[in-house]
Chains A and B, each alone.
Chain A
Amino acid sequence: MDIFYPLQLLADWLTYNVFSIAPRTLLANAVDFFINDTIKIFLLLVVIIFIVSVIRSFLPPEKIKKILSHKNKFVGNILASLLGIITPFCSCSAIPLFLGFVEAGVPLGVTFSFLVASPMINEVALVLLFGLFGWKIAILYILSGLIISIVSGIIIGELKVENLVEDFSKGGKINTLNLPSLSWKQRFVYARDYTFDIVKRVWLYIIIGIGIGAFIHGYVPADLIARYAGGNNWYSVPLAVLIGIPLYSNVAGVIPLVSVLTEKGVSMGTTLAFMMAVTGLSLPEFLILRKVMKTKLIVIFASIIGIGIILTGYLFNFILK
């Protein structure tokens, strides 16, 4: 049984009894959909981000750096990608993170695995995927994200492009920061603050996203969208990826919208590729990384992820017909 069934009852009750909108009208459909999805997403956001934050309080980047230093490839790439899942990624921190890793002796390919996984598999995207698409798609997304980050890290490691990283080693001695160990109470306070912070940052985007989604759900006929973005067009996947690149900061608003488009006939592979492009290919991150590496390396990095995402899109369009 669907664990969200009680929410559907609540949404129905609010729509038909409290707002007394006549059932089976377009408006009722849209309102019911909006209430149900909004409550579901916010519940999931709070619960999942809280849990992830508690886990994360055990693994700050300074500790991850230690775990990954001098790891060989494969094991290092796999570990880096897994650790990337629970680490939040802000383009503000991209540079200190990158330099910290390189200087601690984390191999370049392993560092890149982390840089790919960390933004691509993030908790807000996972909550939205789980809430709006179901757990199967959420797991599919995690697995493909992991494979892309592991493989692209291994490829970059094999290319031996260390010479494209700016030399910062002359900067002098680096302190090791001894982090105080936290009590459970401090971990919960951290998790509570972090959850609140994220919800405060994304709630408006989510409501707008679900709002527009609810409108499309209620009013736009299915075949209109499917005709343009269905699985049969060869160009739909690369196009989705290109559109996804500048949308980075709006992942919270984009996913609810996309979920409705899928319902209206956009194929699953195209949708997954689009979401991966939104989260994994971030223009601001690339611009910031230019401070620490040659443009050539950023182009290599972006192309490998881009190709990985496009292939994933085609694969799932083919499998999930």
Chain B
Amino acid sequence: MIIQVLGSGCPTCKKLFESTKQAVAELGLKEEVEYITDVQEIVKMGVMSSPVLAIDGKPVIAGFLPDAKKIREVISENIK
């Protein structure tokens, strides 16, 4: 599973990156969370808002900073 946070480098994006890393640790997963600031990558996914949380290249959250519970939920739902 590839977990990525994509953002334009704004404060909200950094916060999402931090919360995601924490959520991954709390779920006891070994995955590294990638932080991508190349906006072109967001556009390529077809998403038009930032920040984005993507799992295996698929955007699961876009455009807002969810709470810790929501992040854990979407990660758990997408574990294979």
Contact = CB atoms under 8 A, between A and B. Distances in A.
From B7, B45, B46, B63, name the one whose CB has the most chain A CB atoms within 10 angstroms.
B46
B63 A93 contact: yes
Interface centre among A61, A93, A173, by most chain B C-beta atoms within 10 angstroms, is A93
Contact of B49 (A97, A172, A292): A97
Contacts, number: 73
B45 to A, nearest CB: 6
Interface string A175-198: 111000000000000000010010
Interface residues of B, number: 20
B43 A96 contact: yes
State the main secondary structure of chain B at its contact with A.
loop
A62 to B, nearest CB: 6
Contact of B44 (A90, A91, A173): A173
B6 to A, nearest CB: 9
A172 B13 contact: no
B46 A92 contact: no
A112 to B, nearest CB: 16
Interface string A89-123: 01111111101110100000000000000000000
A94 B50 CA distance: 8
Give the secondary structure class of A's interface: helix
A92 B51 CA distance: 7
B46 A93 contact: no
A94 B45 CA distance: 16
B39 interface: yes
Contacts of B10: 90-92, 288
A174 B45 CA distance: 6
B48 interface: yes
Interface in B5-38: 7-8, 10, 12-13
B34 to A, nearest CB: 17
26 contacts: A61-B48, A62-B47, A65-B48, A91-B10, A92-B10, A92-B51, A93-B8, A93-B48, A95-B8, A96-B39, A96-B43, A96-B49, A96-B50, A97-B49, A99-B39, A99-B40, A100-B46, A100-B47, A100-B48, A168-B40, A171-B43, A171-B44, A174-B44, A177-B59, A288-B8, A291-B39
Interface of B: 7-8, 10, 12-13, 39-40, 42-51, 59, 63-64
Interface of A: 61-62, 65, 90-97, 99-101, 103, 168, 171-177, 194, 197, 288, 291-292
